[in-house]
Amino acid sequence: MSKKPVLYKSLVVGVIVLFIGMSVVSSTGNNVDDIPSNTQNLNTEDSSKDLHYRGDYGYAYNAYPGPEGTVYFPLDDPGNITECGETVSGDFLAGGTIDSDGIWYAVQYGNGLLFGIDTNNGCDMWSIGGGGETALLYIIIDSYNLYWYDPETGEGDYLGNIDVSLTQIEFDNNDILYGFELSITGDVYTIDLSTFETTLVGTLTNITSTGGLSIAFDKDTNDLYLLGTGLYVCDTETYKCTLIGGYPMGVECTSFVIPYGNDDTTPPVTTYSLDPPEPDGNNGWYVSDVNVTLNATDDFSGVEEIRYTINGGAEHVITGDNGSFILSEDGDDILIEYWAIDNADNVETPKNSFIIDIDQTEPDISLTYYITGWKWGWNFEFTAEATDYCSGMERVEFYMNDMKISIIYGSGPIYTWKVTVPGYPENTFNVRGLIYDLHINDDFVKFKTLIVRISKYYQDFDYLIIRAYAFDKAGNIASDEIINPENSISITPGIYIFKSIILPNNYIGHIGNNFISATFNTN
C-alpha cells in the first residue's frame, strides 16, 4: 500500500506518549502522588546483541519509504541507520518514551493503539492494546487534557487540564515535565504536575524541518534532541538547535527515544571454562594445552573488557564480553586471575582465580647395569636414574623381553632392580696365560690379563632386552633399554692383553696370582 511521506501527514494530537518512570496512583486514581523517577539503570541492545549505553544511540520508527520497522543510529551520526526489529503494527508509530528497563512505548498512528518494544531483545514488538484515552502513559488529549496510564497494572485516569496547546510532553533527568508545541510555534513550556500550570521557557529555533517532529531528552546528559528530516541537538538555555546530520535520502522516522542509564554501580560477573573440561592426565594434571574461555555478563551498561593474568604476570586484555587464550607451558599450581570492567567503569572485585596443573614433558631416564656375580646364571643389578621436574616421579617399571617383572614406586631418582639371567655357555673352555689382580669368591673368578689365550667361544643367551619405563605423576612416560647386556666372559676366542675378565667359580686346574691354566665348566 502506497503512502504519502509521514512528515506531510497530520499527527493525531490526541495520542502522544511521553516518558513514564515509577509513579504512584491514589486510591481514587485521579492524582499523582509522586513525580516519576527518570534515573533508573538501563541496558539496551540491538538485534546483533551489541550494547548501547548512556545515550550513545537513538531509536526510532522507520515510517517512510519502508520497509517499516524499528531502527537505531548513533546520535553523532544519524545517517548511519541500522535495522533493529520488524513491526507488528498496522501503521507507523507516533510519539515515544522509554522506561528505566529499556522498554520503549509508542502508539499507532490514527487509532492510538499502544505498543511495547523491548530494546534489550532485538526490538521485539508487541501490542499492549487500548486506543483513544485508555492504553496510554502520560498523554495529551485534544492538545490540552493530561491523562496518566500504567500499562503494567492497567491503572490510570484523567489528571488535569493544561492551559496551552501542546503536541508532546517529555521529562528531563531532573524529573521536570516539559511541554512542546511542535506543529506551529516551536514553543517550550514547563508543566507543574501539582497545578498543571505552564510556564513558557523558550522557543526552538534554527530548525529547517517542518511537521512530524519528535523530541527526546538524553537523560544521561540532559541534552535535548529534536528529530525531523534530520537530527538536531538543542541548547536547553537558548533553545537554539544545531543540525547534527540528516538521514539517507527519503527516509523519515518517528517515535524518537534515547536509552539512558546513569547509575550503573554493579560490576560485571565473569566465569571461566576449560577445554579439555577435566584434566586429561593423572592425579589432576593436564598433559595437553588447555584452552581457557572467559565469559562476562553485566545487567546494565554492558561489558567493556575482560582482563587476566598468569602467575601474577602482565595483564592481558580481551575486548568485549568473551574471549579465550591457551595455556601451553608446564607448571604446578599455575594461577589464573581474571576480572571484567563494564562500560560504566565498574571493576569486578575481588578478582576471580583458579589454579591449574600442566605437565606435558616426559621424565628423563637412563638405564645402566653391572654384574654382581654368577651362580646358575649371571647376577645383574640394573639401575634406572629417572627425574621429572614438574609433576614429579611416581614409579619405574622394569621389563625383560616385554614382560613386566618389577615395579618400584617412589620419587627417585634412583631405582634399582636385581635379577639373575640364566647363562648357558658351552660346557668347557680353556684359559691360559699371565694374570694379575686376582679375586676369587664363591661365585666368580675375576682377574686382569697380561696376556691370556681363551680357546673356546660361547654366549650367555641368544637375545635379551631389558627396558625401564619412567612414569611421572601426570602420566607422562619415558623409557630406556639395554639389548643383550654383556657380561665379562662373553668374549670370542683369542688373545687378551691387559683386559678385565670375570668367570664363574666352576673350574679345574691352576689359578695363581700371576699364572692361570684352568678349564672352566658350567655344569
Count of residues for the chain? 523
In contact, 316 and 307? CB cutoff 8 Å: yes
Question: Where would I find the beta strands (DSSP E) of 23-129?
Answer: 44-45, 51-52, 57-64, 69-74, 82-86, 93-98, 103-108, 114-118, 124-129
The residue whose grid cell reads 537530527 is 231
Considering the domain boundaries, does residue 63 fall inside one? yes
Q: Strand 477-483's sheet: what is its strand order?
A: 403-409, 393-400, 465-472, 477-483
- Tell me the pLDDT band of 136, cut-offs 50, 70 and 90: very low
- Same domain for 435 and 328: no
Give the pLDDT band (50/70/90) at residue 138: low
Burial class (CB in 10 A: 0-12, 13-18, 19+), 49: exposed
Residues 52 and 69 in one domain: yes
Q: Are residues 348 and 376 in the same domain?
A: no
Please indicate, yes or no, if residue 30 is contained in any of the structural domains: no
Residue 414 resides in a domain: yes
Indicate if 154 and 218 belong to the same structural domain. Answer: yes
Residue pLDDT, tens place only, 251-303: 888 888 888 765 677 899 999 999 999 999 999 999 999 999 999 998 777 89
Give per-residue pLDDT as tens, 226-252.
988 889 999 999 999 999 988 777 788
Is residue 157 one of the residues assigned to a domain? yes
Answer with the one of 301, 331, 358 that is the final residue of a domain: 358
If asked whether residues 463 and 486 sit together in one domain, one would say yes
The per-residue pLDDT for 133 is 36
Residues 204 and 311 reside in one and the same domain: no
Tally helices (H) and strands (E) across the chain.
0, 41
Mean per-residue pLDDT for 205-234?
84
Max Cα–Cα distance, the chain, nearest Å: 141
Contact 422, 376 (CB under 8 A): yes
Confidence tier at 215 by pLDDT (50, 70, 90): confident
CATH number of domain containing 72: 2.120.10
Q: Are residues 100 and 229 in the same domain?
A: yes
* Residue-level pLDDT at 135: 33
Give the range of the structural domain holding residue 11, as residue numbers without chain letter: 6-24+40-257
Residue 419 lies in a domain: yes
What is the number of domains present in the chain?
3
Asked if residue 334 and residue 470 are part of one domain, the reply reads no
Q: Is residue 66 part of a domain?
A: yes
Domain end point (choices 211, 232, 257): 257
* Higher-pLDDT residue of 471, 222: 471
Could you tell me which residues come within 8 angstroms of residue 239 by beta carbon, excluding any fewer than 6 positions away? Answer: 188, 201, 202, 203, 204, 205
For residues 49 and 105, state if they share a domain: yes
123 lies in the same domain as 251: yes
| pTM for this model (two decimals) | 0.49
Same structural domain, 18 and 95: yes
Q: Is the pLDDT of residue 328 over 60?
A: yes
Question: Does residue 32 lie in a domain region?
Answer: no
Phi first, then psi, for residue 436 (nearest 5°) are: -155, 175
Q: Is residue 35 part of a domain?
A: no
The verdict on 354 and 369 lying in the same domain is: no
- The residue out of 257, 284, 304 marking a domain boundary is 257
pLDDT of the residue at 321? 93
